[in-house]
Amino acid sequence: MNSIFVKIPRWIQRIFNKQDWSIKTEGKEIYLTFDDGPTPEITEWVLDQLALYNAKATFFCIGKNIEKHPEILRKIIAEEHGIGNHTYQHLQGWKTKTNEYLNDILKTEKLLRKHPLKNSVKLFRPPYGKIKRAQVRKLLSKKYKVVMWEVLSADYDHSISTKKCLENILKNTSSGSIVVFHDSIKAKKNLQFALPRTLEHFSKQGYIFKSIS
């Protein structure tokens, strides 16, 4: 696996404190998130797994995928999950001019606002987790909540085993953790192994799974 943080250190969270890395809670609550959908080959499977545990999650959707598969977005919303913006073209913020980046996000926002979203707050997650401070400031001024993550499953990484993907989650997740998966073809193998076991493991320990609002 590439040298990445599976669990984001507190010092990073403190430096970039305008973004949300976890959720303050006194209860046993976990916040599962899914990036890069909607994807016909995997998103509906994810929804079925979540339904088995009455689990709610948040889906950070790519605009061009929403255009291709609006029926899946409608199903996510109908099942009362949260929806967030993940840009239209999956742009890397560090490599993109701020105005171009914002316009790409707003293009996706127009698509999302055609639907009755559960979450009242506008949610945004930067692809690759890479975003400039100026881009964060612009988004905050437009009343977005910029959502990062505390725990990275690394389900997209073909160099790790399915068991390692699951281990990333089970060893690092606790109350209030925001955990990131990907409902994408690239992540399918690891996701299909790790997600059901994650839901089962934490449900047995009395946790509930909530969407970000």
- For residue 143, is pLDDT > 70? yes
In a domain? residue 34: yes
In a domain? residue 1: no
pLDDT digits (tens, 9 = 90+) for 22-61: 999 999 999 999 999 999 999 999 999 999 999 999 999 9
In a domain? residue 78: yes
Is 14 in a helix, a strand, or coil? helix
Q: Give the mean pLDDT of 109-125.
A: 93
In a domain? residue 134: yes
Are 71 and 44 within 8 A, CB to CB?
Answer: no
Calculate what percentage of the chain has a pLDDT beyond 70: 99
Counted residue by residue, the chain has a size of 213
At 163, the amino acid letter reads: K
Whether omega before 196 lies within 30 degrees of 0, making that bond cis, reads no
pLDDT class of 120 with cuts at 50, 70, 90:
confident
In a domain? residue 20: yes
Q: In degrees rounded to 5, what are phi and psi of residue 59?
A: -110, 120
User: Tell me, what CATH number does 90's domain have?
Assistant: 3.20.20.370
- For residue 8, is pLDDT > 90? yes
- Report the number of distinct structural domains present in the chain: 1
Task: Reply yes or no on whether 36 is catalytic.
Answer: no
**Which one of the listed residues 69, 155, 182, 183 is annotated catalytic?**
182
Domain with 191, as residue range(s), is: 10-209
Q: In degrees rounded to 5, what are phi and psi of residue 7?
A: -115, 125
In a domain? residue 4: no
In a domain? residue 165: yes
- Helix intervals (H) in 33-115: 43-52, 63-68, 70-78, 98-112
Query: How wide is the angle at C-alpha 34 spanned by C-alphas 130 and 211, nearest 5°?
Result: 110
Distance of CA 67 to the CA centre of its chain: 19
- For residue 1, is pLDDT > 90? no
At 113, the amino acid letter reads: R
Helix axes 188-204 and 43-52, enclosed angle (nearest 10): 10
Alpha-carbon span 59 to 82, nearest angstrom: 6
In a domain? residue 186: yes
Task: Reply yes or no on whether 157 is catalytic.
Answer: no
Give the side-chain half-sphere CA count within 13 A for 187.
Answer: 24
**Which one of the listed residues 35, 155, 157, 183 is annotated catalytic?**
35
